[in-house]
Homo-oligomer: A and B are copies of this chain.
Amino acid sequence: MAESFYICLDIGGTKVLGAIFNSKKEIVYRLKKKTKSAGDSSQNIEDLIISVVDEMIVGAEINKKQVVAIAAGAPGVINQEEGIVLFSPNLPWRNYNIKKPIEEKFGVPFYIGNDVNVGVLGEYKYGAGKGYKNVVGLFVGTGMGGGLILDGKLYTGHQFKGAELGHMVLNSEGPRCNCGQRGCLEAFSSKQGISDYIRQQTERGRESLMAEAVKGGIFKSKLLKAALEANDKVSVEAVERACHYLAVATGNLINIFSPEVVIYGGGVVEACGNSFLPLILKDVDKYCMPSIRDTVEIRNAALGDDSILYGALSMILEKDN
């Protein structure tokens, strides 16, 4: 019998990452395409996804009939049961049924979920959350995404709108967040929050290696990495501040969920390297009950940029989610 393959996608606002997994759950082929190149209509994004899948099948030299299923994570509020993207901040889909056309085109099941939810699912099944039942995930990127595995299942709440952990208000007089509130975790601790803080400081006349990088908006992660390595004072401050609020939020989430593990992923975590987790661990005990803290592991994601791809694989292979 010919080998089976699973095609998994990480659909972002700027790029689509694709991977083909074999039945041993190994990635045997990868492809990356810029989302922007597709133009910004719903149909264009759908066409892009189809072309990524087509190209991967050709590039990996497998037979279309060997593909058992396709799955994806994408930003936004997604009806996972029906494969409808209800709303996405970075993609042109509104109440868009993406399941139907993909399934018709390829003749195999297609699954899709919110990218951070799917990423946390990946970590739960194959990464830093393996073996646990209750997992809280925080993905620190341009924004701040959250994912919850509760009693062994992905929790998405009513109408798939839950797990907005980044919009926990930690100080109602705090800085303005993209969502319009003040003092959300995202406003302190995301790339946006860190950029805003550095910009604020450089506009006061303080020097920073990141001054240019944050002028127009948000820095690129590799620039932050370099600035931290050079011990840039304002950048270090900004990350310490971000981690302080992450510690408060993590303490709250520990009290709320009594999870077995809290996992941090995303570009900022990767950029900060080994300095990130200790900054959170330094503070988190202050903000949760010691009796609950005792049974929680706090750690970095294990699958790096592949969390979402593995989570998509899990949507195909483990229907109990």
Contacts and interface: CB of A to CB of B under 8 A. Distances in A.
Interface of A: 77, 87, 133-134, 146, 150-151, 153, 155-165, 167-172, 179, 181, 248, 251-252, 255-260, 286-289, 291-292, 295-296
A306 B251 CA distance: 32
A29 B121 CA distance: 49
A157 B292 CA distance: 10
A164 B251 contact: no
Contact of A256 (B87, B162, B296): B162
A287 B150 contact: no
Given A169-B287, A252-B169, A287-B172, A155 B161 contact: no
How many copies of this chain? 2
Nearest to A260: B158
B172 A169 contact: no
B169 A257 contact: no
Given A169-B170, A255-B167, A286-B181, A291 B134 contact: no
Contacts of A286: 172, 181
Contact of A155 (B151, B158, B162): B151
- 3 nearest A-B residue pairs (beta carbon): A157-B258, A162-B258, A161-B258
Contacts of A258: 156-164
Contacts of A77: 291
Given A256-B165, A291-B87, A292-B164, A248 B172 contact: yes
Contacts of A256: 146, 162-165, 168, 256
Contacts of A257: 157, 162
